């Protein structure tokens, strides 16, 4: 399957979907606190997406396959050693010191906006703070090199180099992806790799960059629900994600939030 180059109309719709996904993350932050369940976080996000944004939560009922139920919730909540695809539940109560990734994808007018953010619950450990910070830096270092002519291997390489320089590891089995009318399109965007390898970026491409960085080894384990992915050594994991557009001169972050400083990028969202 070839990578889709988006039209001007596609991009207009994707800007809207991306903005709404970012809005959800900005809204939910005030609710992330000790004592709340991940089920309650899911309920709040679901109601906001459906009732306030008049959009659709893409994860809900997504991805059923033989041996795997469709994803049963509207967001992913990945706490501590959960790498990705954590299923919200009333049994998971957040406690002081936890870190949590909340992953939101909305569909608006048939287009997807996909983004995630790390949150601290109370006072995190020094290790947790460093892991979360370095993981965000990995994402930002990747964003900074996106432009026509850059190759996917360059993106993976800059992420891998920064993570390993800080004695962390990069998850191999899960990656970023093309996105648009379809939740997961080509290309696959690996978060490790060699420079000058992989497809060459062109203006009009849209995809996610979503590095998953572990405090221990990169090895993963899939839980029996066939969704939740955890670190095999039960050490902490962190992830940050943006949906981006390759422009003629650089990158536009379609899911940019008001709480982050992206002035280092070549080009800002219109």
Cβ atoms of residues 20 and 108 within 8 Å:
yes
Return the CATH fold of 8-253.
Creatine Amidinohydrolase (3.90.230)
Sequence ranges of the domains in the chain: 8-253
Cβ atoms of residues 210 and 155 within 8 Å:
no
- Whole-model pTM: value is 0.96
Residue 112, φ and ψ in degrees, nearest 5: -105, 140
Per-residue pLDDT averaged across 225-241, rounded? 98
Per-residue pLDDT tens for 75-101?
999 999 999 999 999 999 999 999 999
Given 3-state DSSP classes, what are the helix, strand and coil percentages for the chain, each rounded to the nearest 5? 25, 25, 45
Per-residue pLDDT tens for 7-42?
999 999 999 999 999 999 999 999 999 999 999 999
CA distance 93 to 84: 17
């Amino acid at each position: 399957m070839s990578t889709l180059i988006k039209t001007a109309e596609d991009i207009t719709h994707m800007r809207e979907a991306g903005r709404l996904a970012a809005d959800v993350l900005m809204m939910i932050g005030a609710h992330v606190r000790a004592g709340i369940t991940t089920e309650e976080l899911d309920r709040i996000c679901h109601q906001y997406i459906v009732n306030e944004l008049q959009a659709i939560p893409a994860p809900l009922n997504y991805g059923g396959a033989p041996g795997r139920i469709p994803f049963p919730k509207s967001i992913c909540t990945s706490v501590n050693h959960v790498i990705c695809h954590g299923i919200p539940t009333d049994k998971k109560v957040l406690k002081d010191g936890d870190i949590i990734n909340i992953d939101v994808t909305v569909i608006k007018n048939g287009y997807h906006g996909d983004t995630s953010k790390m949150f601290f619950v109370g006072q995190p450990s020094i290790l947790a703070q460093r892991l979360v910070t370095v993981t965000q830096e990995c994402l930002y270092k990747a964003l900074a090199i996106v432009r026509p002519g850059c190759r996917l291997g360059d993106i993976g390489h800059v992420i891998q180099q920064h993570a390993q320089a800080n004695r962390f590891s990069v998850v191999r089995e899960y990656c970023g992806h093309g996105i648009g009318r379809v939740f997961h399109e080509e290309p696959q965007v690996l978060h490790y790799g060699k420079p000058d390898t992989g497809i060459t970026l062109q203006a009009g491409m849209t995809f996610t960059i979503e590095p998953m960085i572990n405090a221990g080894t990169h090895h993963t384990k899939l839980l029996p629900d066939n969704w939740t992915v955890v670190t095999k050594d039960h050490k902490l994991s962190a992830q940050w994600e943006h949906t981006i557009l390759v422009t003629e001169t650089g990158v536009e972050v379609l899911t940019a939030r008001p709480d982050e400083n992206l002035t280092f990028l070549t080009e800002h969202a219109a």
